[in-house]
Chain A
Amino acid sequence: MRNWRPRILLAKPGLDGHDQGAKVVARALKEAGFEVTYTGLRQTPEAIADAARAIDADIVALSSMAGSHISFCERLKPLLDDAGLGEKLWIIGGNLPKADHPRLAELGFRGIFPSSSRLEDIVDFIRSNAP
């Protein structure tokens, strides 16, 4: 068993203020033994890339409830790539209509967790896929 603790940056992109889910997921990830930094609300793409680089994140996780995920992720992707985080695990959860999943995958989000996902599924996915 690996004894390192994957570092996760959990971010709330854009203006969306619905953080109940993000905070619940943050607690679950901590309980599971990950090192979690939760950015708080109102993060720009630049702020998320900077924060991920600053903590040398193994996993970048977004929680988006207000529908702007595609346009946000399109702006975030090149910034994460430029920050040297292209090989890390990117995941996203929230109100993510099925029709948007292929585009999110294309943008590099390997884990997509729409509303009603289970906490243990999120934890298991990260355990199996963390770099």
Chain B
Amino acid sequence: MTVRPNPAIGPVRNESGIEIKPVYTEEDVRRSGGFDFVGDPGAYPFVRGIHPLMYRHRPYTMRQYTGFSNARQTNERFKYLIANGQTGLNVAFDLPTQCGLDSDDPLAQGEVGRVGMAVDTLRDFEIAFDGIDLDKITVSLTINGAAPQLIAMYLAMAEKRGYDVARLRGTAQNDILKEFIGRGTWIYPVEPSVRLVGDTIEYCARHAPKYSPVSVCGYHIRESGANPVQEMAYAFCIASAYADEVLARGMDIDDFAGRLSFNFNVFGSIFEQVAKFRAGRGLWAKIVKEKYKAARPESEWLRMIAGGGGGGLTFEQPEVNIVRGAYYALIAALSGAQTTALCCFDEAYTIPSEYAQRISLRTMQLLIEEMGLSDTVDPMGGSWYIETLTNEMRQMMEGVMREVDEAGGVVKLVARGIIQDKVSEQAYQRQLAIESGAFRKVGVNCYRLPDEEEVDVKMHPYDEAETRRQIASLDDVRVTRDHDAVAKSLKDIGDAARTGANVMPAIVAAIKAYASVGEITGQLAAVYGRYREPAML
């Protein structure tokens, strides 16, 4: 008897566009490229993981995105999370800080401390990290446009507390190209912005070689509408652009590639996600080895945070997001991420509550403690389906990267808004598919409640008085600091920017003299100009 495929079962494609077969066999792996590009954990091409023992040696770092109001309040939340077993910090800054403005800037009105912690001067960092052991708890700063100031601030704060900056670990996001694609906290035009990223990489390589000055983010590009293959491919294009910027200054790839890190998104098909991370690890290793001729294996590592993404969570029936988050954490663990974090179930509504953050933290903890996720490396490896997808997705990523190169490179495509336009069109198509029911979202276009009831989400309060306190504190710093040291260091920043020298030494000096984030932005903007997004018809 011949078995005919049921005509009612149409083709199934994953989000990246790969047609998924009902059954996979060894033959599929062979046809997609075989097992040649898999290797062992801890060895090139690192598809199975960048370390031989992975979570046996050290489980993922748990690093919830946290910050609100001011340094004092944020410090309390940090301590709450650490007391509950969190092993790293990921700091959220308010929008004025992210845009390089002081809290008393007219453009900051109504926004101080709203979506993150307000930071004006070194004093704020001294308070924010007070009582936290920076050797035990590594800190990730989610800062991009104002990254030069905040990296300088972190190093200065640590040094003041007696840490050896040459041994200090930590990460700054500092991926400005993706800010132009999604997220939007750019300050200067594209080209000087890339130069500033180069300045921070170069400075850290020389002075803080254990610090990761950049975390290249596919995450936000995915949130903006990219599919999983594009998420990785665009991130690698961007990472390559930063590497090219630094190599052009005469540095060696092995001086800095080992401290480049990555930030990726987790939502969607479990198998597509796991294959994405495996494929990405192999491809990045290949790029660094073959294109950049790195000699040190560490340079080839795709070190990453895989974060349970807000793009997958829903406004409807928010408690179901707790379950989604559990699957996202599972994916991160199955994928061998170095760090993970989860958007909280209430995050479509508000700054997450302590309760919501504790649930996210427990979710990540129980995978390690109860579910056997740290017992063995790359548990999905060897599955015919996963290995086939891994090969196919890697090849598709290479295709997307080739297209970007042939079109003139990622810096040019971002400056012209071409990648923005492409992912935005995809986001629109996705929204149409959600509204038509073609792309299923539980609680959104299927299994809705008859009457969406009042949800039980506790809204985070916003206190205007805290803004006044923040501004008073900034005023106080401005009165008590060494005015000559501030004036001189600010002038040095402008001079360095004008002559094309690395601006970081001058920024570090200014931060140590308690110059403010906004004052430093002003010096750089006077030379670089400020970016303005063009209106679109």
Contacts and interface: CB of A to CB of B under 8 A. Distances in A.
A interacts with B: yes
A53 B405 CA distance: 42
A6 to B, nearest CB: 14
B535 A38 contact: yes
Nearest to A121: B435
Interface in A21-79: 23-24, 26-28, 35-42, 44, 51, 66-68, 70-72, 75
B436 to A, nearest CB: 10
Interface stretch (A10-18, A83-91, A104-112): A10-18
A96 to B, nearest CB: 10
Interface in B454-474: 459, 462
8 contacts: A14-B95, A15-B95, A15-B99, A16-B95, A17-B98, A23-B428, A114-B315, A115-B315
Nearest to B311: A20
A15 B111 contact: yes
Contacts of A75: 109
Majority secondary structure, B binding face: loop
Interface string B106-121: 0111110011000000
Contacts of B459: 97, 99
A2 interface: no
Interface residues of B, number: 42
A116 interface: yes
B329 to A, nearest CB: 23
Given A14-B95, A66-B111, A95-B348, 13 more contacts: A15-B96, A17-B98, A18-B184, A20-B424, A28-B431, A37-B535, A40-B533, A42-B99, A67-B115, A68-B110, A71-B110, A97-B349, A118-B435
A38 B536 contact: yes
A24 B435 contact: no
Contact of B111 (A27, A68, A95, A118): A68
Contacts of B315: 114-116
B432 interface: yes
Interface string B96-134: 101101000001111100110000000000000000000
Contact of B316 (A24, A44, A116): A116
Contacts of A124: none
Interface of A: 14-20, 23-24, 26-28, 35-42, 44, 51, 66-68, 70-72, 75, 95, 97, 99, 114-116, 118-120
A80 B1 CA distance: 75
Interface in B423-448: 424-425, 427-428, 431-432, 435, 444
A66 B114 contact: yes
Nearest to A116: B315
Contacts of A16: 95, 184
A66 B184 CA distance: 12
> 6 closest Cβ contacts across the A-B interface?
A17-B184, A40-B533, A71-B110, A15-B95, A116-B315, A68-B110
B428 to A, nearest CB: 4
Interface in B179-232: 179, 182-185, 223-225
Contacts of A97: 349-350, 459
A75 to B, nearest CB: 8
B90 interface: no
B340 interface: no
Interface in B61-106: 95-96, 98-99, 101
Contacts of A18: 183-184
Contacts of B427: 20, 23-24
Contact of A68 (B101, B114, B182, B444): B114
A79 to B, nearest CB: 14
A115 B444 CA distance: 12
A117 B176 CA distance: 31
B431 A119 contact: yes
A44 B107 contact: yes
